[in-house]
Chain A
């Protein structure tokens, strides 16, 4: 194991009960401390499955996953304390305000008092919330919900941030600004970030490395620049289509 390896996954396979194909097939992958890593793939590629195993929500059929040296099988409680999780679906109470949602999440991570209040306020301002932070989440636009959902994962300043499709359903501006925020966190707080996505422009711009996966397998791995050069593509999308084909997914 490399000194600075943060997430280490070896020969990870997953077959859902009742399904006869593998959602993950023999995946081996290492993510280093301090990098922004994009796990890219079309719908049904196995991104959420990978994410869930790494968060300890799902057991692998075979293989193992380690985070900061802790095994997801045995040390999940240690892992929970150092990761921040941003689920694909909005994980907020719709009748609470954005602020109250964040206060709750912060408390659940052990923050309290002034620190908690300030942290929440700081994040809200940074992500462009002012007065509307006290309105009910159900009145927010999709993009606002996504932003609060994201803040929920970073309030406690985790060492490792795991995001499942954080930018889905956002317009290009919001997507870019969110990635800028993530980049900032990565720089300032030395946060390691793993996120899944099927948007390629932002991945190309912000990721240190990406992996392209399909049908449960990693097809290629490297920095966007290297991959484009190696595959002779004009951009990451070009490379992506080369690997995953043009067939429409369901």
Chain B
């Protein structure tokens, strides 16, 4: 115990004067969390608050153009500009505006589009009532131009174009009913006109798929980024830890360590304990940042849920996994430079694979499979369960188990390697 305290004090004193170490362990995480969260939050906010600039050039003067105008005006993600062919006469003109960044998407509805729709629907109904007339081909097509900024986010473009299709479909249905109604009235020789309701009889209720229990989570940049960058930062413990382990194997110190009373491996575990403690501090620090500091910048407050046991266990296992990886790197390599290069790059790769930078579900299928080998991914999946999906201990225990196995594996391999380093030949 006394030796553990001695190691603790020594490592602590070494750490606080190690500017690089402090930067890696504490300054970098704070900056990463702030920058990444702010970037995502701002990007998200600016587009949802002011809307995506969309240009609707409506050359049609019938009901199709009108209902598209109405529809997009209600479409909350758009900031709509409507033009009736006064300002934007041709698509070259429009393209130039988009390239200049004035709009992200432009929709051009041609002249007489409603008439073409009516004609086509009329033909179709006629063929229904008149057996001799069979329509195999439609008379004329309406071409609706959709011009898109090539740098625009795919999901925005998709949202706009599916909105477009939806509005057209509903106009089509209305026109179909109208004409059918007229035909039927004609056949029945009646004057009654069908009154079509203004509202749609489908309403949509969107909600987030969460696991339980009444608690609703707001998926936002804070909930996503804070756990991701906390994991990333905790894994960067590998650099100072491996460096410190390797330095202690330098000629003189290694002799001193091995001639102290007791086993060197117990001294080494004292060091691991110190870094484990640092990892926990890092985590708590980042959580406090999310809870108390980020809201001051106008960001949402971090919600860490209420599953304390699950959260604590996951965090302890994550920290142990990171520390054991540091030990492994520090054991495998013989100079601090080698360990820093390999350790740093391997964490970057594991974090990219693990979905720290880009969500795993946006990766191609092969990458999604590969990503499940990254311990950073296991931890991330665990935190998303707790912070976003409302999961509890049950939902994360498999991730915790994988982290534990990784810890046991790294410790065992390092122990075997160390035994050979401590062999007296």
The residues of A with any CB-CB pair to B shorter than 8 Å are 16-17, 52, 55-59, 77, 80-81, 83, 85, 87-93, 95-96, 100, 103-105, 107-110, 112, 136, 149, 152
- A80 — which chain B residues lie within 8 A by C-beta? 259-262
Q: How far is the CB of B215 from chain A (nearest CB, A)?
A: 47
- 7 nearest CB pairs, A to B: A91-B252, A107-B6, A89-B252, A91-B256, A89-B251, A87-B255, A59-B424
B18 CB within 8 Å of chain A: yes
Q: How far is the CB of B366 from chain A (nearest CB, A)?
A: 45
Q: How far is the CB of B334 from chain A (nearest CB, A)?
A: 16
B253 engages A93 (CB within 8 Å): yes
Q: Give the residue of A59, A92, A96, A103 whose beta carbon is less than 8 angstroms from that of B425.
A: A59
- State the CA gap A102–B359 with chains docked (Å): 50
Given known contacts A58-B424, A109-B261, A110-B261, is B256 in contact with A100 (CB within 8 Å)? no
A104 engages B9 (CB within 8 Å): yes
- State the CA gap A200–B10 with chains docked (Å): 38
Q: How far is the CB of B262 from chain A (nearest CB, A)?
A: 8
B17 CB within 8 Å of chain A: yes
Given known contacts A95-B14, A96-B14, A104-B10, is B258 in contact with A152 (CB within 8 Å)? no
Q: Give the residue of B13, B260, B424 whose beta carbon is less than 8 angstroms from that of A108.
A: B260
The residues in B between 240 and 290 inclusive whose CB is less than 8 angstroms from any CB of A are: 250-253, 255-256, 258-262, 267
B2 CB within 8 Å of chain A: yes
- A89 — which chain B residues lie within 8 A by C-beta? 250-252, 255
- State the CA gap A55–B14 with chains docked (Å): 28
Q: How far is the CB of A82 from chain B (nearest CB, A)?
A: 10
B408 CB within 8 Å of chain A: no
Centre residue among B17, B250, B258 by max chain A CB count within 10 A: B258
With an 8 Å Cβ cutoff, the count of chain B residues facing the other chain is 25
The residues of B with any CB-CB pair to A shorter than 8 Å are 2-3, 5-7, 9-10, 13-14, 17-18, 250-253, 255-256, 258-262, 267, 424-425
Given known contacts A17-B425, A107-B2, is B259 in contact with A149 (CB within 8 Å)? no
Q: How far is the CB of B239 from chain A (nearest CB, A)?
A: 16
- A83 — which chain B residues lie within 8 A by C-beta? 259
Q: Give the residue of A52, A59, A87, A104 whose beta carbon is less than 8 angstroms from that of B252.
A: A87
A107 engages B425 (CB within 8 Å): no
- B251 — which chain A residues lie within 8 A by C-beta? 87-89, 91
B2 engages A95 (CB within 8 Å): no
- A58 — which chain B residues lie within 8 A by C-beta? 424-425
Centre residue among A55, A104, A136 by max chain B CB count within 10 A: A104
- A56 — which chain B residues lie within 8 A by C-beta? 259, 424
Given known contacts A95-B17, A107-B3, is B259 in contact with A152 (CB within 8 Å)? no
Q: How far is the CB of B264 from chain A (nearest CB, A)?
A: 11
